[in-house]
Amino acid sequence: MPLVPDISEVKAMKRVEIIAVGNELLIGDVLDTNTNWLCRRLTMMGAFVRRAVLVRDEEEAIAAEVRGALERGTDLLVTSGGLGPTEDDRTVVAIAKAVNRPLQLNEQALRMVAQRYRELYLQGFVDSPDITPARRKMAVLPVGAAPLFNPVGTAPGVWLKVGETVILCLPGVPAELKGIFEHSLPPLLKQVLGKGYYAERTFEATCRDESVLAPVLKEVASKHPQVYLKSKARVFGKEVRITILLASTGNEKEVVERRLQAAIDDLIVALDPMGIVLVPIVSS
C-alpha cells in the first residue's frame, strides 16, 4: 500500500537513487547489505528513496545508470563500490564519463590516501607506505569533485555536484561505507536533504491469518493515503506471528505524528469487532 505524501511535501522531499556496483553482488557471492542500510538511513532522514539498482563493474553500465538518474531529476545519487585500487574498480571513471568531466589527480585526496598508507605501514599492515600507481588511482577524481575522508579504509569517498544533483560515491566495504557516512557526511547531507521527518510504528496482531487482516488494512489505508501500511507474517505454522507496520513522512514532525496516530486509531477501531488487538513492538 503506497505512501503518498501531500503534493507540497513530495516537491520538498529530496529524491534519492542508489547504484550498487560490483560483479560479486550479481553473481550472488556477496549480499548487498549496503543498499538496505542506506535506504533505511536516508528514509529516516526524511528523504524519498525512489530507486535502487545493482550493476556490474562495467563503465558503460554504471554511466548509463548515472545518466538516467540525472535525467530523472534525482537530488542525491549514491553509489557504493568500485572505488578501490584494482583495475575493475571503475565507478569514478564511469561517473566522469557520464557527466563529461575530465579526471585529474586531486591533491587533497592524494594526501588522504598517503596518510592512510603511512598509518597502515606503521601498524605493520602493509609493507610500504609508498604511493604506487594503484594507490594513486584512488586519488584521481572528476574535475570539481571533493574527496571524503575514509576513517576505516584507504579509498576516499567522492562528493560531486552536477547541476542540481549531488553524486555521492562510497566504498563497497560496509564498514568503510558506514564510516564515511557517519564521519564525513552529516553536515553535507543536511544541506542536500534539508528538512524532513519520518516516523513509524510496528505492532504484533493477535491474529494468525494474514488474509483476515487484508481487507481491514486495505480499508484503513484508503482513508489514510499518506501512511504506509503493511502486514508481514514473520513465522508460519502454529506459532505464526503477524506484524503490522505503519509509517509516514513529511516536512513537519507534528503533522507526520498526527496523521500516523490517526491511522493507528482507525486500525484499532476496525480490528476491535474481530477481537484482534495490536500489541506495540518497541524497537531495540
C-alpha distances in Å from residue 81, one per residue of 139, 196, 197, 256, 277? 15, 27, 28, 34, 45
Average per-residue pLDDT in the chain? Answer: 91
Across the range 232-241, mean pLDDT stands at 68
Asked whether the predicted pLDDT for residue 237 surpasses 80, the reply is: no
Residue 46 has pLDDT above 80, yes or no: yes
Express each pLDDT in 107-116 by its tens digit.
Answer: 999 999 999 9
Model confidence band, residue 284 (pLDDT cutoffs 50, 70, 90): low
pLDDT above 70 for 166: yes
- pLDDT (average), residues 152-174: 97
Give CA–CA dist 148/154, Å, rounded: 11
Neighbour-count burial for 108-142, b at 16+ CB within 10 Å, e otherwise: ebbebbbebbeebeeeeebeeeeeeeebebbbbbb
pLDDT confidence of residue 234: 63
pLDDT at position 4: 45
**Overall average pLDDT of the 138-164 stretch:** 97
Share of the chain above pLDDT 90, in %: 80
pLDDT score, position 5: 45
136-145, 192-201, 235-244: range with highest mean pLDDT: 136-145
The fraction of the chain above a pLDDT of 70, given in percent, is: 93
* Angle formed by the axes of helices 253-271 and 210-223, nearest 10°: 140
Sorting pLDDT into bands at 50, 70 and 90, what band is 85?
very high
- What's the rounded mean pLDDT across residues 154-180? 97
